[in-house]
Amino acid sequence: MKIIENYKAKLKKKSKWSWASDIVFILFIIALIIPTTRTPLVVFIKRATLLGPSISENANFGKLNQNDLQWKLINDKGEEVRLSELSDKPIFINFWATWCAPCVAEMPSIEKLYIDYKDDVNFVIATYEKQSLINSFLQKHELNFPVYRYYIKEPKLLQSKTIPATFILNTEGKIIVHEKGSSNWNSKSIRALLDKLIKSNPNQ
């Protein structure tokens, strides 16, 4: 009985703010449990905490060879495109899926980057999902960057056990950036890197 009385006494001492914080916490836990609200909530949290990717000029992620550049993709028109056809400019490659909350979280930053660099950088936002599903996703989130589907395994140097996974290549096929997990791709460091790659592009 004494335990119950002590508990009741503690409840009476709780402030309105304390009660409110408890309610918010409970609602947060419930939202994480329910599938329909879990993904949007995770996206919101991820997006609010995104940082720019790590960049190191001394990093060595390898270089795609001629066979790697023959990797086949399918554009939104159903046309087959080889990676080599896009190597006239630096290439921004992002592996993602519509069901992946961390992928969705970084999409707005990729969209902003695409809007400013689409004329000088080839964007390959790659997924294995159906075109109808992709179209619905792009329309819902008001995204305009090009999405490619792939049915052939990506080159070994571009493989990742997790998504999102992002790579930035120069025109020679050298991998300049290899980032796993969601990031803010509209960061100053990435913009500076792309500007540098564009300036050194012999095809410009």
Domain regions of the chain by residue span: 2-48, 68-199
pTM (two decimals) = 0.78
What's the first-to-final CA gap in the chain, in angstroms?
Answer: 82
How far does CA 27 lie from the centroid of its chain?
A: 28
For residue 28, what pLDDT is reported? 43
- Name the band, by pLDDT with cuts 50, 70 and 90, for residue 24: very low
- Name the band, by pLDDT with cuts 50, 70 and 90, for residue 29: very low
Give the contacts of 4 (CB within 8 A, at least 6 positions apart): none
For residue 200, what pLDDT is reported? 93
- Tell me which DSSP letter residue 143 carries: -
| Right CATH for 68-199 from 3.40.605.10, 3.40.50.150, 3.40.30.10, 3.40.50.460 | 3.40.30.10
H-type helices in 64-187, by residue range?
Answer: 101-117, 131-141
DSSP element (H, E) containing 9: helix 2-13
pLDDT, averaged across the chain: 84
- Name the band, by pLDDT with cuts 50, 70 and 90, for residue 12: low
pLDDT at 50 exceeding the cut of 60: no
- Name the band, by pLDDT with cuts 50, 70 and 90, for residue 25: very low
Mean pLDDT of 81-103: 96
Query: How many CB atoms neighbour CB 117 within 10 A?
Result: 20
Mean pLDDT of 145-167: 96
For residue 193, what pLDDT is reported? 96
Own/partner long-range contacts of 54-61 (Cβ < 8 Å, ≥24 apart): 54/179, 55/177, 55/189, 55/190, 55/193, 59/176, 59/178, 61/157, 61/167, 61/174, 61/175, 61/176, 61/177, 61/178
